[in-house]
Chains A and B, each alone.
Chain A
Amino acid sequence: AQSVTQLGSHVSVSEGALVLLRCNYSSSVPPYLFWYVQYPNQGLQLLLKYTTGATLVKGINGFEAEFKKSETSFHLTKPSAHMSDAAEYFCAVSARGGSNYKLTFGKGTLLTVNP
């Protein structure tokens, strides 16, 4: 079964500092991986996704993630944090559910950005 593990339930950075949110996956088949962001009292918004091809994936708001098969990782990074990046971030893997497909989420990482 596919699963993801997010290391660190809470990450705190200073404004302008590097953001690194960690995600490791477990999958018996080539994984399709996603990062979502949830701002307070909002729904989830897709940041980026890896399906096939280039292992460095660029997303919205300056975020990117690199798929590393050898490390079974899909860490999310942003070179310079902004106050508006404060949110909950979820890594997810796509898996079959019967004849449908479903997302299995990690437990989330809360990012706080200090001025």
Chain B
Amino acid sequence: DTAVSQTPKYLVTQMGNDKSIKCEQNLGHDTMYWYKQDSKKFLKIMFSYNNKELIINETVPNRFSPKSPDKAHLNLHINSLELGDSAVYFCASSLKGEGLRTEAFFGQGTRLTVV
């Protein structure tokens, strides 16, 4: 059983389109994240949700809108895609109760290519 699963794994789309990435975790975690990995492999947090509530929004353009229908799912919708949005997007989850000890479990990533 995959702990954190994302779909699709690859996404190629044209500039200006709107696309969504889905994420589901079956670990019973209460906190979920979206991270962006750029072409230089640098990983940066975008959003964090706890029990469906948005907690962290790290100065991400408002073309990016996360949605959490329940604590096991966190989807990422991107409007008006730009070339600079090309990256690998990782979903992750953790247990808030672990505090600073918390380790994040990552999905396999979605490679988004905007052409």
Contacts and interface: CB of A to CB of B under 8 A. Distances in A.
A43 B99 CA distance: 23
Interface string B87-115: 00010101010111111111111000000
B56 A103 contact: no
A88 B41 contact: yes
B103 A34 contact: yes
Given A43-B109, A44-B106, A102 B101 contact: no
Contacts of B101: 32, 49, 51, 94
Contacts of B12: none
Contact-size category for B: 20 to 34
A115 interface: no
B103 A107 contact: no
Nearest to A99: B55
A69 B103 CA distance: 21
Contact of B43 (A45, A51, A105): A105
Interface string A92-114: 00111111111111011010000
29 contacts: A43-B90, A44-B90, A44-B104, A44-B106, A46-B105, A51-B100, A51-B101, A94-B101, A96-B100, A97-B45, A97-B55, A98-B48, A98-B55, A99-B50, A99-B55, A100-B31, A101-B31, A101-B94, A101-B96, A101-B98, A101-B99, A101-B100, A102-B48, A104-B45, A105-B42, A105-B43, A107-B40, A107-B41, A110-B41
